[in-house]
Amino acid sequence: MVSLLDKAIEAGLLVFLVRYPLGPWPFSRGTLSLIGRIALASAVILWIVRWRTGPRVARVRTPIDRPLLVYSLVVLVSLLYSIDQRETLRCLFGPYATGLVLFFLVLDRFRAAEGRRRLATVLAAAFLVTVAVGLANYLNGRTNALGGITAFGIDGVHTIGKGLSGLFPFVLILCPGTGTTRRKMFGAAAILVALFGVFMTLSRGAWAGAFVTVVIWGLFRAPRLVTAVLVAFVVCVFAFGPPVLLDRLNLFRYQMATLSDRLTIWEGAMEDVAKRPLHGYGYGLRIYQNLYDRRHPDRRHDDPDATHEHSIYLALLVQTGLVGLAAFGWLFAAATTALVRGIRRVRAGPDRDLLLVALTGLIGEYMVHGLVDRNNMAKWAQPFWVLLALGMGSLHGARAAPPEPDRAASNPTVPAS
Taking only the tens place, the pLDDT of each residue in 214-258 is: 999 998 888 888 888 888 888 877 776 546 555 655 655 555 544
pLDDT higher for 377 or 154? 377
- Determine what percent of the chain is predicted with pLDDT higher than 70: 77
> What average pLDDT does range 316-326 have in this prediction?
94
Structure confidence by residue, pLDDT tens digits, 190-200: 998 888 888 87
Q: Mean pLDDT highest for which of 50-54, 229-233, 249-253, 300-304?
A: 229-233
> What average pLDDT does range 119-138 have in this prediction?
82
Res. 320: pLDDT tops 80: yes
Are 361 and 385 in contact by the 8 Å Cβ rule? The answer is no
Q: State whether the Cα torsion 331-333-338-340 is positive or negative.
A: positive
> What average pLDDT does range 273-295 have in this prediction?
88
pLDDT higher for 146 or 17? 17
Structure confidence by residue, pLDDT tens digits, 71-110: 999 999 999 999 999 999 999 998 899 999 999 999 988 8
Which CA distances in Å does 207 have to 87, 135, 240, 399?
31, 17, 17, 35
Res. 136: pLDDT tops 80: no
Query: What does the alpha-carbon distance between residue 192 and residue 17 come to, in Å, rounded to a whole number?
Result: 23
> What average pLDDT does range 142-146 have in this prediction?
53
Helix ranges restricted to H, 83-180: 85-91, 97-109, 113-139, 157-167
Q: State whether the Cα torsion 376-384-386-146 is positive or negative.
A: positive
What is the pLDDT at residue 142? Answer: 62
Q: Which amino acid is at 69?
A: L
What is the pLDDT at residue 306? Answer: 63
Considering only CA atoms, give the Rg of the chain: 22
Extract long-range pairs of 146-154: CB within 8 Å, 24+ residues apart. Answer: 146/22, 146/24, 146/25, 146/26, 147/24, 147/197, 148/24, 148/201, 149/197, 149/200, 149/201, 150/200, 150/202, 150/241, 150/244, 151/200, 151/201, 151/202, 151/203, 152/202, 152/244, 152/247, 152/248
Helix, strand, coil percentages for the chain (3-state, nearest 5): 75, 0, 25
First to last CA, the chain: 49
Average pLDDT score over the chain: 80
Structure confidence by residue, pLDDT tens digits, 326-338: 999 999 999 999 9
What is the pLDDT at residue 77? Answer: 95
